[in-house]
Structure 1
């Protein structure tokens, strides 16, 4: 049996398909009083399609611009959503040469899965190859989440502010996720967000940009089985806990590898950096093929090759790709952030 068949369910046969003007409202109604269960959501940051199941009845909902006058029926068809997404992935545009800076509040927020708010940090999502999202919760307390998993090539989450409690399949007890922590969620790992503090925010990077999120209504987390070495496809779960020393003000450049290259099968590497404002304290990296930077403190002058330059401030992000060198130098003492090398 292939890894995909072990991790992901077969697409069910649709009994009815219908457009709806308010997908969130209709999902809540159907999973509440009508006792349907979510099978899958697509995509997580701005859901357009939901597959719901009750007994052997499979319902497909799709976001529409207005309230439909009638429902559309299909018989004997599978959702084919996974197949169509795989075909679409083959048509992703080349990334090419890019140097993009996104400010703290420059792009709009939209409501996504489980009541979370999302904003994009990379223009056109790198041709469909990457979604880089700034995510925050609208309300503190218990999160309206359920055990779920994603059909992805990779997904990495960095905690910007606040705390939350999560549970992961085969990884033991509840995990407290705090500012500065970072986690690699391999494809297919079941997980759930339990609750969040006020002001909880994360940075989320995932490829491809649009992917299916599936629900798992059978598995209860945390589960009793522990297998921290388990591989999901060719990746392993990896959690990096921020150390107190990483937030101190150094007299010289500090760079720490967060250890994601091997667990992600070389898809992602991550470095936390702190730069004093001295000429010799400069980070130099070649995109391989892409780099994403998020600045947590201070200001940095970023340059890509000889022709592109920008000043990055706290809470801003940078994305670049191509064959020229990226340099980062602090303008204030110190400047800190996290740099991801991405194999897209």
Structure 2
């Protein structure tokens, strides 16, 4: 049986000055030192790291980040240190709390015809940004596609988020979720919400898979879980992750009801109920009544055009004719109207929070 170790080499000019810093201040263990008569090299280990401090090594001293669940105690509470050899030490929280930035409201219209670039992201998936300014970092909305059918090179992972939606607009995708049984497949019109930190793995996708992914906040951490194996042995539909339940909503099964806006009907994905109103998600389409001007008081109201055409009118603004692939954000208090909707129009509407007030005016 073979054994392999990895070391990071750092330079020093005087090894005797570094030994007490790395052992006493940083709490590492010295595993090796040589030659005995005039030491030039010492090896230290600790905190998941193995360091080789070598006199006159050619590398720059670099930076070491140490993550601790008690950063105010570690190294006497100092968050920034410099070792005698010049290496910078940054001490941070091991599991920092999720920070939800305050929303910077803006009116956003993003058109597919504008030619925003597709960026290759995690697991080879292609991403198009639907809210370029991210509303001050409060949300990211991505149009994601996988052009080719087949297995997806994914790993079991989870996201440190406040809210996350996956809504399928084309094709299908198979995903495994923690405590949700075997493979879960969504087709066009179906959706998942992935509660905060639920473990999951994307397994396979159809040709031309396209989904809309909403994440709150815009910048959030994705961590790989090397220990969990999926599918997990349990089916626990009532389990909550930070107060939210997993939702697998089937579009074909949902009833239609009057929408908050005159001129439209909607089907509810049950996401508001299962996130305790952290967010709400609806699919809307026109009915026979005339649309009205309206305002809302939601913090974030995002809409994506899944099919058809519609005109977005804003008080004091030029109207926008929108079609499939376009998206928009209406800030709270802005007076707007959706008019000239085609009969095949379908909109995906996402609101945070899920419970908010709409006021219509003549």
Give the TM-score of the pair, scaled to structure 2.
0.68
Moved more, 73-82 or 200-209: 73-82
1:17-76 deviations in whole A, cap 9, x for unaligned?
A: 99xxxxxxxxxxxxxxxxxxxxxxxxxxxxxxxxxxxx97459xxxxxxxxx76835275
1:93/1:258 Cα in 2 relative to 1: closer, same or farther (>3 Å)? closer
Cα distance in structure 1, aligned partners of 2:151 and 2:251: 24
Count, aligned residues: 276
Residue aligning to 2:312: 302
Segments of structure 1 that go 5 or more residues without pairing to the other structure are 1-14, 19-54, 60-68
Residue aligning to 1:213: 222
Give the TM-score of the pair, scaled to structure 1.
0.71
Query: Alignment partner for residue 64 of structure 2, among 62, 74, 87?
Result: 74
Query: Alignment partner for residue 338 of structure 1, among 331, 336, 348?
Result: 348
Contact 1:287–1:341 (8 Å) recurs in 2: no
1:119-139 deviations in whole A, cap 9, x for unaligned?
A: 110121110000000111243
Partner-residue secondary structure (3-state), 1:266? coil
Residue correspondence of structure 1 range 119-158 to structure 2 within 5 A: 119-158=128-167
Partner-residue secondary structure (3-state), 2:182? coil
Residue correspondence of structure 1 range 323-334 to structure 2 within 5 A: 323-334=333-344
Residue aligning to 2:107: 99
Once the 2 structures are TM-superposed, how far is the Cα of residue 214 of structure 1 from its aligned partner?
0.9
1:310/1:246 Cα in 2 relative to 1: closer, same or farther (>3 Å)? farther
Residue correspondence of structure 1 range 271-310 to structure 2 within 5 A: 271-276=282-287, 280-281=290-291, 284=294, 286-307=296-317, 309-310=319-320
Please report the RMSD computed on the Cα atoms of aligned residues, expressed in angstroms: 3.1
Segments of structure 2 that go 5 or more residues without pairing to the other structure are 1-6, 11-45, 51-58, 69-90, 257-262, 355-362
Residue correspondence of structure 1 range 162-177 to structure 2 within 5 A: 162-177=171-186
Cα distance in structure 2, aligned partners of 1:137 and 1:240: 21
1:138/1:285 Cα in 2 relative to 1: closer, same or farther (>3 Å)? same
Once the 2 structures are TM-superposed, how far is the Cα of residue 292 of structure 1 from its aligned partner?
0.7
Partner-residue secondary structure (3-state), 2:343? coil
